[in-house]
Structure 1
Amino acid sequence: MAQKYKVTTRTKLLSFLFETLALNGGWSKKTVKQRLQSATVFVNGQVQTKHDFMVDAGDMVTIGTQQRGAQTNSQQKKLEILYQDKDLIAINKPAGLLSVGTNKETKDHALALLRSELSRAKKHLRLWPVHRLDRDTSGVLLFATSKEMREAVMEQWSNTEKTYLAVVEGTPKKDHGTISQPLRLDEKEYKMHVGEHKEAKPAITHYSVKESRSKRTLLKVNIETGRQHQIRAHMAWLGHSIVGDERYGKKEAHMGLHAMRLVFVHPLSKKKIVLEVDAPQTFYKLLK
């Protein structure tokens, strides 16, 4: 039988579970972590497996049985490979999956899953991320099979075409525009500050309206630079934060940002590589 608990103070999900189930409920911390990893923890009806997911006062946390079809990152189907040769591999990263691990113990991330999927018993595949996507951003993610290839792609990264789809709150006043505000990372808050500052770096974001509803808008976004959280911070500065972006806007079960297209010249073959993948249905549902 499902157990329901109401959140009274904003905190991380794992901290809430430890206090509620371990400290006051007699559960072991190991059991709490296992329940979280096995997709039996729900926040407002949505499965959550991320220990650092933020819950707010009033949220309802349910401890139940695993839903049919619910999967943790490690239980996912094989990653969708969009392109592969001996030097480069591109995947369609699902939302909710880290690009790379945050520490040596983290196994549920795209790099580890892809390496495990493609490695053979006597041949361990080595991979280097050419770039990264935020955990809650889906779409094209590129890896190299050597440091030299990664560096070769990065040398021309400023000429790479990077196109995203974004669902934002409200509707921009103009159907298209450019945001050229510099960005500065606040390492304590792990958040980008927008505007002039001696430590700020240039950042350029172009956007155009694809579809507009009464309260939300679908944008096509191209970035000339690739700063951390660039689109998220720039759109929030414009007054139209990404839907579901807890750090720069309001929390929802899903975030409306998808890396749709990546175009670059292969350093060895000199051929143009076009990688493109549509957003999942859960993304488009955010527009409704």
Structure 2
Amino acid sequence: MGGAESLARFFETDRRVVRIALTRVEGSSPREAGTEMFVSKAGLWGTIGGGQLEFRAIDAAREMLEDGCLARTIDLPLGPEIGQCCGGRVEMSLARMGEADRRAAETREGLSQAGRPHVYVMGAGHVGRALADLFQHCPVRCVLVDPRPEELARSPAAVEKRVSAIPEVDVANAPRGSAFIVLTHDHSLDFLIASAAIERRDAAYVGMIGSRTKRAKLRAFMREHSDPGLFEDLTCPIGAGGSADKRPAVIAAFVLAEVMARLTCGAASPALRHASEEDAMPDTSDRAGAHA
């Protein structure tokens, strides 16, 4: 559990909760030191990595809820003796939570949420809605932007939905390090938004749905209206490295991986950086009209 459910709401369901935190990690481990999760009699919030490591921690936490123990420490090798092969070792602290502990945990979660990178999905068509469905489960703040309120209303995703007549303003006001995925219903609008995002020079990712032809047209547009030297910071087509499948859900899955890799790993230049690569570029066709 977690993500869609707020930590505060989780605490409201049962005040008797144990906090599990990884206090020391040696070698290979599914999560890093400082990772925490919360366990009640019937619920869970967060994860310390799953597998036998997490199962044993949950069992120990629930034993504490039954026997009244206030705190304990577990030192666990992640080897064959517990059915894992990470090869590392972790130390975990388990503690019953009081009111002050719960407030502190909510504060930490709030700070973590506030520090999440922004992902702007510029267009609420088929692919845009599919992207919002996926990003709602990721550690990002996803904003779905479209001038058409009726299209935004079709998205059931738990993300921010913003009606915007001039999306370039949303691009200009976005925080540093944001990601922009451009897939509106209008090619001219795509060009304006993509150019505005590239010209910021501080975006973590700028991608535009389309084909080699559309990419070439944007380059010509930027030669007339902007700095053409910035064009190489654009990823277009988006999600083209994984599959030629043009179904919206498939496109969205590959774009999600592309964006999250950039946000979490500081990926280097986009795969399609240089004009000389365009001939070898897979033509995923101009999907903006069909799916955006």
Structure with the larger strand share: 1
Structure with the larger helix share: 2
Settle same-fold status: TM greater than 0.5: no
TM-score by length of 2: 0.26
